[in-house]
């Protein structure tokens, strides 16, 4: 076994999920994540946690959903399992990222709706999602398998403690600030962040962060005004999207366009009222992620990028008892800020051309 698989498992179990003796752990295993599952099982055994592995296969799900009449009920046994779990580790890794492409949208939606409470219960565990670098993910990234593995482990095997410290500097500024301005090529956008709490997403439940890799700081903006262009290519609902442009007034999208994929952007915007508003402003700070790989788990954490999400806001960013932007969707879009760009908080430039104010090489105006 590649020693990095073991390191990945150790980071996941110790840093990310903080597993302790006696924890009831659900390990959700993709069909091609077997090797990582073996390494994680070893870590769980060492810590004296209790292990139950579930099988997360797109092909199994596809067969089930396509055969079903669409009248789903909540799976009581799955709910009982998750209610009893302390930790839920999801090891993504299939053989084909399009394995459920021919499941009708309404079937998938009905299935998700029936399982909404189970999902909420899972969010009450120490849950962490990661992926094992597979050939299908390499293919999605347009990369050779060996090169993709290097990429993935560069992203995953960070010095998380020191990245957390660095991200905390940005979090402090966001927490103390009230108005953010993002200026870049074909982008000039302002958002309010007063009274909001930024999440230092350092790939650990201790930081309210549930992805490995992570490496972003995010908050929930309001009162968005201006224009933004997303120049990082993405796939949304199976459709390639290139250079989408959104125009905001009074916090809501009033116009949009795209070089490619305008249709799916339009579909997203029409989901509900909340889909026209932002649920997230995130600043990618993981410089182990140095290229787009068409996988949002990685792309949104890429160093020198900023992403905005249409739709639902995360509770962690909101004052207690307050509910943020609500929507059935949360769709991230990403813009490159490595050149000709600046991020201001209350008029102070915090990041210019990808460099932060506290870093070597930051240029005062």
Residues that bind a second copy (CB under 8 A): 22, 24-27, 29, 31, 34, 37-39, 41-46, 48, 50-57, 59-61, 63-69, 71, 73-85
Dist CA 212 CA 106 (whole Å): 30
Closest approach of a second copy to the CB of residue 55, in Å: 4
Query: Cβ closer to a second copy: 31 or 261?
Result: 31
Provide the token pair at 362: 């930051």
Taking the least distance from each CB to a second copy, the nearer of 75 and 319 is 75
Helix (H, G, I), strand (E, B) or coil at 361: coil
Nearest CA-CA partner of 365 in 333, 335, 341, 331: 341
Closer of 54 and 363 to a second copy (Cβ)? 54
Q: What's the min distance (Å) between Cβ of 63 and a second copy?
A: 4
Choice between 56 and 97, CB closer to a second copy: 56
CB of 85 to a second copy, least distance (A): 5
Residue of 314, 333, 330, 191 whose CA lies nearest to 256: 333
The Cα-based distances of 163 to 153, 157, 169, 200, 224 in angstroms read: 16, 11, 10, 10, 29
CB of 11 to a second copy, least distance (A): 17
Nearer of residues 74 and 165 to a second copy, judged by Cβ: 74
Q: Assess contact for 245 and 229: CB atoms under 8 A.
A: yes
* Residue number, 76 or 365, with CB nearest to a second copy: 76
Closest approach, Cβ 125 to a second copy, in A, equals 10
Strands 234-236 and 348-352: unpaired
Closest CB 117 distance from a second copy, rounded Å: 13
């Amino acid at each position: 076994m590649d020693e990095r698989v073991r390191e990945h498992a150790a980071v996941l179990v110790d840093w990310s999920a903080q597993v302790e003796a006696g924890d009831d752990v659900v390990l959700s295993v993709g069909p091609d994540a077997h090797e990582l599952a073996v390494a994680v099982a070893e870590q769980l055994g060492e810590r004296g946690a209790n292990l139950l592995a579930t099988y997360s296969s797109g092909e199994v799900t596809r067969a089930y959903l396509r055969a079903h009449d669409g009248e789903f009920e909540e799976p009581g046994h799955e709910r009982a399992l998750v209610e009893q779990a302390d930790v839920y580790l999801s090891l993504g890794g299939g053989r084909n990222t399009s394995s459920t492409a021919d499941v009708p949208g309404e079937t998938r939606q009905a299935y998700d709706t029936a399982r909404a409470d189970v999902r909420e219960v899972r969010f009450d565990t120490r849950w962490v999602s990661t992926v094992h670098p597979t050939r299908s993910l390499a293919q999605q990234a347009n990369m050779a398998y060996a090169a993709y593995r290097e990429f993935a482990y560069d992203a995953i095997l960070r010095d998380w403690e020191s990245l957390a410290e660095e991200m905390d500097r940005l979090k402090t500024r966001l927490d103390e600030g009230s108005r953010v301005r993002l200026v870049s090529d074909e982008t000039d956008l302002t958002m309010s962040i007063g009274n909001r709490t930024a999440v230092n997403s350092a790939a650990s439940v201790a930081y309210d962060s549930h992805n490995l890799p992570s490496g972003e700081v995010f908050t929930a903006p309001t009162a968005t005004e201006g224009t933004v262009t997303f120049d990082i290519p993405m796939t949304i609902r199976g459709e390639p999207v290139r250079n989408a442009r959104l125009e905001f007034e009074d916090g809501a999208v009033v116009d949009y366009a795209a070089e490619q994929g305008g249709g799916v952007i339009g579909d997203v915007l029409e989901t509900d009222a909340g889909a026209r508003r932002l649920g997230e402003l995130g600043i990618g700070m993981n410089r182990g992620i140095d290229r787009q790989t068409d996988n949002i788990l990685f792309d949104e954490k890429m160093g020198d990028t900023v992403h905005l999400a249409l739709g639902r806001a995360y509770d962690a960013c909101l004052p207690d008892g307050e509910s943020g932007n609500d929507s059935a969707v949360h769709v991230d879009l990403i813009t490159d800020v490595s050149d000709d760009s600046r991020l201001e908080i209350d008029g102070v430039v915090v990041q210019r051309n990808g460099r932060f104010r506290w870093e070597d090489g930051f240029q005062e105006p």
